[in-house]
A and B are shown apart, each in its own frame.
Chain A
Amino acid sequence: MSLLLRAAHTERVHSHLCRVYPEEGCGVLLGRERDGVREVERTVELDNQREASRHNRYVISPEQFLRAEKEARAAGLDVLGFYHSHPDHPARPSAFDLEHAWPWYSYVIVSVERGRVADMRSWRLRDERSAFEPEPMAQDEPAPGERR
């Protein structure tokens, strides 16, 4: 299993998450899965629906989800997963992430430190819900502005 995120999409995701820093940002990844490789074709920016604790919490409401799914279907795509930022925290899933995670989806976490992207990783929930496993990420070329 791996997730392919092209440079153009990576750039869109990063600029979205840096723009909303120090709050958390989130969005949906649409695309196709073929032979165990997920390829992102489109990213959808969402407004964080959290009213409190927006610096360390994000929520995507069922209505937002249904709209994204409708958009995916219209374009012949699937909802592959979601991205969100961890402002000034590592790009590792938190206990809160684990508690709220769904199986199958790719969870891309971007660490934004002092307004700049520091790291990006993708994660998948284990079947028995005990933990996240890292999901290899492939990029066609390094995203501009990304520190390695």
Chain B
Amino acid sequence: MIPIHIPTPLRPYAGRAPVVEVEAATVGEALRLLVERHAELRRHLYDDGGRLRRYVNVYRNDEDIRHLEREETSLGAGDSISIVPSIAGGAPGPPAWATGADGLPAMSQDDLLRYGRHLILPEVGLDGQRRIRAASVLVVGAGGLGSPLALYLAAAGVGRLGLVDYDRVDASNLQRQVLYGVSAIGRPKLEAAKARLADLNPGVRVDTYEVPLTSENALELVREYDVIVDGTDNFPTRYLVNDACVLEGKPNVYGSIFRFEGQASVFDARVGPCYRCLYPDPPPPGLVPSCAEGGVLGVLPGVIGVIQGIETLKLILGIGDSLAGRLLIFDALGMRFREMKLRKDPDCPICGERRTIHELIDYEAFCGIPNAQEAAVAQAEWEIGPRELQALQANGGALELIDVREPHEFEIALIPGAKLIPLSALPAHVSELDSSRQIVLYCHHGQRSMRALEYLYGTGFRKLKNLRGGIDAWSREIDPSVPRY
């Protein structure tokens, strides 16, 4: 039998006995038997995690078990155990939240005032706010989605924001990209974004990456951040962000918008499906128009970007039910949210059981987008510049000028002499065109008219030209009285 000497303060919890005897081979076993016999002793000896309290010292004979084998310290005949208090305390010092002594970032009086509405939420509180400050979020794309997202995340006090974008601010961005104002037009987006975010919350570190996200730099960038938010507007970058997040084991907060509809989800291959589980293959190039071609309601990215922001904060705080495994679909016209269950695809090429993708690939090629240089050469063959077109018209050349935009665009501006046949209606009107005449096609910027040209070529037309830069270039170079939009 091993005697355990109980110190005076603990005797009331051990049947008032100064010594309790147990049969045990190790100190840990002896203490377990002791607290089984005298249950009230447990909370004084062990903390909530089941570890011996720091100020409870256990001696085998006259040696502290911390210098022996701790709770594995063996016991034999003649050994005894003593529980010895160490006494500590002191005046209230500055609390850990003010000094950061516990490893989370410190908070100042100004911070308490700024984040007061968070601090009184039990689900956030001081600890949560400090976790938000400790977090880093990479926002890919500082456009329609990235704008509200970056503003709200900075306002919420996320410690480090990374922004990836290499565009300049264009007047047509201001309809939805609320990070920018008139004074930013023509400036690099990230320069303007950084200034705006610094004004909103100087406590946030904003790191800007004024480069395209590529297979060469994506892993390195993603690795540095806790959460990645996808605010991109094209398929190659979307697959790139997804794959980089899967390879680095990071959550990817996804959002996309088109016209009046938006989608959002959280892809985290460690716990659920990734973007490729949902969309194994990209759509054929040109099938899904971009916002620049198809249009978008300016407020829509506000809704979706803010949903991404909420999901990001929830991930940081570890609260609520994330969108992982669910696709949220928002219909602004019907004003309805729908939800689809997403499952992890066991055959997913990057997060499935027999994955075939082990590193980043060429995403332009994967999405069927021709090499930019080759495409430019091929297109150039069919292009006509605004000045050439003007010369052709002035020389009385017999040509048919076809506008393939939508009627409501035609209403805003047109090139005199043009006939309106929207791209979607082209097949129905082919018979009205004379293949012996020179046909010049145009649209807003030259993309839709290029597709119209490809279609007509396929039906046998050969005397085809595409107006380079569309009506926008015409207005800039030839006729400023044609409104630009």
* Pairwise interchain contact B90-A102, C-beta atoms closer than 8 A: no
**Interface magnitude class on chain B:** 20 to 34
Given that A104-B8, A104-B9 are contacting pairs, would A96 and B89 also be in contact in the complex, using a CB cutoff of 8 Å? Answer: yes
* Pairwise interchain contact A96-B93, C-beta atoms closer than 8 A: yes
Q: In the assembly, what is the distance between CA of A101 and CA of B9, in Å?
A: 11
> Does any Cβ of A come within 8 Å of B120's Cβ?
no
Contact with B along A3-41 (1 / 0, CB 8 A): 000000000000000000000101000000000000000
* Pairwise interchain contact B91-A87, C-beta atoms closer than 8 A: yes
Q: Which of B55, B57, B92 contacts A56 (CB 8 A)?
A: B92
Cβ of A58: which chain B residues have Cβ within 8 Å of it?
88-90
| B interface majority secondary structure | mixed
> Does any Cβ of A come within 8 Å of B346's Cβ?
no
* Pairwise interchain contact B84-A84, C-beta atoms closer than 8 A: no
Nearest residue, chain B, Cβ from A28: B87
Interface residues of A in 94-130 (CB under 8 A from B): 94-97, 100-105, 107, 128-129
**Most chain B C-beta atoms within 10 Å of own C-beta, residue among A85, A97, A102:** A102
Given that A78-B8, A104-B9, A129-B43 are contacting pairs, would A60 and B88 also be in contact in the complex, using a CB cutoff of 8 Å? Answer: yes
Cβ of B84: which chain A residues have Cβ within 8 Å of it?
62, 65-66
Nearest residue, chain A, Cβ from B94: A56
* Pairwise interchain contact B43-A128, C-beta atoms closer than 8 A: yes
* Pairwise interchain contact A103-B91, C-beta atoms closer than 8 A: no
Q: Which of A55, A56, A85, A100 contacts B87 (CB 8 A)?
A: A100
**Most chain A C-beta atoms within 10 Å of own C-beta, residue among B10, B43, B87:** B87
Q: In the assembly, what is the distance between CA of A86 and CA of B54, in Å?
A: 22
* Pairwise interchain contact B90-A56, C-beta atoms closer than 8 A: yes
Interface residues of B in 9-52 (CB under 8 A from A): 9-10, 12-13, 43-44
* Pairwise interchain contact B93-A102, C-beta atoms closer than 8 A: no
> Does any Cβ of A come within 8 Å of B108's Cβ?
no
> Does any Cβ of B come within 8 Å of A61's Cβ?
yes
**Most chain A C-beta atoms within 10 Å of own C-beta, residue among B43, B59, B85, B90:** B90
Having A55-B91, A58-B88, one finds 15 other A-B pairs with CB under 8 Å, namely A53-B90, A56-B90, A58-B90, A61-B86, A62-B64, A65-B85, A78-B8, A85-B91, A94-B89, A94-B91, A94-B92, A100-B54, A103-B44, A104-B8, A107-B89
Q: Hey, which bits of chain B sit against chain A, CB under 8 A?
A: 7-10, 12-13, 43-44, 54-55, 57, 59, 64, 84-93
